[in-house]
């Protein structure tokens, strides 16, 4: 009988009161809250590994993580027990046994983020304030043209946070497209890729909004991408509009 069992967790959380995913001394984080609850249930200290590190203020509907727990505790009703201990802004959507070799981060083949824009200039619904970027009217056609030209494999250095150490800035963006939100005032953008650099989605969205406002042409947006240098003129979208939608794995 193995000494431990690996669990795969699918998590949803509101990012407003978290200082991001990753453990930080003296700060409330998703990983910290999750490990605190899991340690109580496992009867020993555990380490949780997430599919990605969301920034402070970023939400999630489908963050994925894994954790090893003692085999003697494997038959606990993990989802119900975990949700009884987690704070109201963090929920285990699904908990199941996984292969001992499953890794939430390294096995992921695609991640999809959702970014929501509020385009109505006259008002902003209070219950949507924490989940949207209020931009005012935008030229969706111009944004779509720019988005389609960004799809593909390239260096995304121009869209990463300055000073972020990575082995390679090359990523493949599979799709960027727009959908209607919960009402006509909302414009929702979905971005899927094999991985993302720090604040890459927020910088892409910042650039697309500048295109939508006529402050940046489609050609200028593409030139920035090709140059590979982070430009201060490229806006960074606020964290509140961003949500990790899902993480996909091989069948």
Domain 4-97 has CATH 3.40.50.2300: no
CATH number of 110-248, picked from 3.30.43.10, 3.40.50.970, 3.40.50.1580, 3.30.70.660? 3.30.70.660
Read off the pLDDT of residues 103-148 as tens digits, 9 standing for 90 and up. Answer: 999 999 999 999 999 999 999 999 999 999 999 999 999 999 999 9
Q: Report the catalytic residues.
A: 55
Q: For position 167, what pLDDT does the model report?
A: 84
Residue 230 has pLDDT above 80, yes or no: no
On the question of a common fold for 4-97 and 110-248, the answer reads yes
One-letter-per-residue 3-state SS of the chain: CCCEEEEEEEEEECCCCCCCCCCCCCCCCHHHHHHHHHHHHHCCCCCCEECCCCCCCCEEEEEEEEEEEEHHHCCCCHHHHHHHHCCCCEEEEEEEECCCCCCCCCCCCEEEEEEEEECCCCCCCHHHHHHCEECCCCCHHHHHHHHHHHCEEEECHHHCCCCCCCCCCEEEEEEEEEEECCCCCEEEEEEEECCCCCCHHHHHHHHHHHHHCCCCCHHHHHHHHHHCCCCCCCCCCCHHHEEEEEEECCC
Q: For position 19, what pLDDT does the model report?
A: 97
Confidence band (pLDDT; 50, 70, 90) for 162? low
Residue 231 has pLDDT above 70, yes or no: no
Residue 1 has pLDDT above 60, yes or no: no
Q: For position 164, what pLDDT does the model report?
A: 61
Confidence band (pLDDT; 50, 70, 90) for 161? confident
Domain ranges of the chain: 4-97, 110-248
Q: 0.75 exceeded by the pTM? A: yes
């Amino acid at each position: 009988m193995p000494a431990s069992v690996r669990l795969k967790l699918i998590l949803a959380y509101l990012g407003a009161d978290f200082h991001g995913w990753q453990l930080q001394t003296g700060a409330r984080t998703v990983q910290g809250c999750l490990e605190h609850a899991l340690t109580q249930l496992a009867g020993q200290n555990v380490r949780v590994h997430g599919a990605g590190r969301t920034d402070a203020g970023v939400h999630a509907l489908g963050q994925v993580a894994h954790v090893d727990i003692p085999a003697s505790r494997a038959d606990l009703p993990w989802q119900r027990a975990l949700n009884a201990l987690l704070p109201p802004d963090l929920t285990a959507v699904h908990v199941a046994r996984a292969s001992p070799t499953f890794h939430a981060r390294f096995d992921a083949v695609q991640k999809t983020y959702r970014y929501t824009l509020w385009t109505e200039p006259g008002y902003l619904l209070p219950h949507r304030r924490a989940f949207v970027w209020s931009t005012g009217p935008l030229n969706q056609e111009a944004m779509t043209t720019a988005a389609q030209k960004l799809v593909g494999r390239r260096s995304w250095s121009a869209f990463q946070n300055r000073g972020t150490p990575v082995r390679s800035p090359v990523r493949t963006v599979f799709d960027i497209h727009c959908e209607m939100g919960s009402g006509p005032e909302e414009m929702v953008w979905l971005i899927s890729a094999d991985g993302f650099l720090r604040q890459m989605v927020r910088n892409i969205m910042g650039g697309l909004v500048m295109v939508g406002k006529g402050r940046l042409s489609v050609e200028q947006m593409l030139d920035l991408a090709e140059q590979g240098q982070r430009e201060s003129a490229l806006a960074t979208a606020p964290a509140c509009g961003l949500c990790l939608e899902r993480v996909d794995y091989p069948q």
